[in-house]
Amino acid sequence: MVWLRKTALVLHLVRGLLTCAVLFPWLGMESRRRRIREWSRELLRICGVTVEISDSHGPPRGALVVANHISWLDIFVLNAWSPFRFVAKSEIRGWPVIGWLCVQTGTLFIERGKKRDAHRTLHHIADCLLQGDIVCVFPEGTTSDGVSVLPFHSNLLQAAISAGRPIQPVALRYLDKKTGRSTASPAYIDDLSLGDSLNNILRSPPIAARVLPGPEVHHGEGDRRALGVHCRGAIEALLEQDSAMHAEPPERKVGVFL
């Protein structure tokens, strides 16, 4: 029943708060990453989401991950693969409980629309990449229904160019686990509230979240706008290829399942 799963989610959230407050100050980076991965996988299990990864190897250290954005679940799906530092709008930092958790797990915040803050964030991301952190950005700037990929805002890609680090395009796709067809249940769009979005997910049939990493982009001194167009095209191609693969009989599909 939905209320039982909601209760489990609340308890799981409390567990995450206690872990961040009590254990994180004493843990090294790899131990934190392992706990973030485990916590994310359990949250997805409670939500009825299975993560399917076409490549179990995470991005190289110091890479900038560029992904399409469909749902608030995206962060946990990606963390279940390989925990990253995410870039999020500054408003999230003020959200009760969630904002504090984001701060504790290394989220980088940006005040959208402020050029000076964008420059500050770019330098911060570049520094993180040079230190070996993996940083993830959603260049669409908002969520979509998952059917198409919105135009990319390429400003933050400049951080990878400045740091001389590779970019890893990653496509995300949500499927009805039984039929293998795309599902809009996780989509967090329009005027949907977080509560309504959660209800849609919990009431839907089991969901498969596909993580589809593309080839790394070694850009040299490339132009960030051209780079954004290239990454968007790479993600669109990954989604098209995966859609074609899921049109085949289930026994021919391969992947790593979490």
Indicate the number of domains in the chain: 1
Task: Give the model confidence (pLDDT) of 212-221 as tens digits.
Answer: 999 999 876 6
pLDDT band at residue 56 under the 50/70/90 scheme: low
pLDDT band at residue 256 under the 50/70/90 scheme: low
d(CA 200, CA 186): 7
What pLDDT score was predicted for residue 252? Answer: 43
Radius of gyration (C-alpha) of the chain in whole angstroms: 18
Q: Of 53-67, 169-183, 225-239, which range is least confident?
A: 53-67
Task: Give the model confidence (pLDDT) of 129-154 as tens digits.
Answer: 999 999 999 999 889 988 889 999 88
Task: Give the model confidence (pLDDT) of 1-13 as tens digits.
Answer: 788 999 999 999 9
Q: What is the pTM of this model?
A: 0.90
What pLDDT score was predicted for residue 258? Answer: 62
Does the pLDDT value for residue 223 go beyond 90? Answer: no
Containing domain of residue 83, as a range? Answer: 2-257
Mean pLDDT calculated for residue range 149-177: 93
Does the pLDDT value for residue 248 go beyond 60? Answer: no
Q: 210, 214, 209, 205: which is closest to 235 by C-alpha?
A: 214
> Is-contact 206 178, C-beta < 8 A?
yes
Give the CATH number for residue 100: 3.40.1130
